[in-house]
A = this chain, B = another copy of it.
């Protein structure tokens, strides 16, 4: 598929898709026209990248970990550099921290929302009665 279709299917602006290519995250084939040609599996990849960027992970890190995410289901790495491994551990821990942070704060917001809902329900009930 071409870039416009991928943009629709992955809900990602074409501008961003071209940027991801520039950053080495998604590199499509080219048709004779020069048009970008994307394989269908790249829909998921585009969505994944958007999610990671939205979570505060810079594209340079994403470029590092993407190959590992691909290989994760199956292929065992044989010649992995210890430096890359260290970076991966670091990033894994950073992500865990982020998850904990987000979870704590999300739960606080949820608690607040629930309290507000309850308060509203009480007031509505009182008004109705």
Contacts and interface: CB of A to CB of B under 8 A. Distances in A.
B108 A68 contact: yes
Of A101, A105, A109, the most chain B CB neighbours within 10 A belong to: A105
A103 B101 CA distance: 12
A43 interface: no
Interface string A85-129: 100110110011111011101101111110110111000000000
A65 interface: yes
A31 interface: no
A51 to B, nearest CB: 4
A122 B104 CA distance: 39
A89 B55 CA distance: 18
A9 B87 CA distance: 26
A17 B110 CA distance: 27
B85 A109 contact: no
A77 interface: yes
A129 to B, nearest CB: 19
B68 A119 contact: no
A51 B101 contact: yes
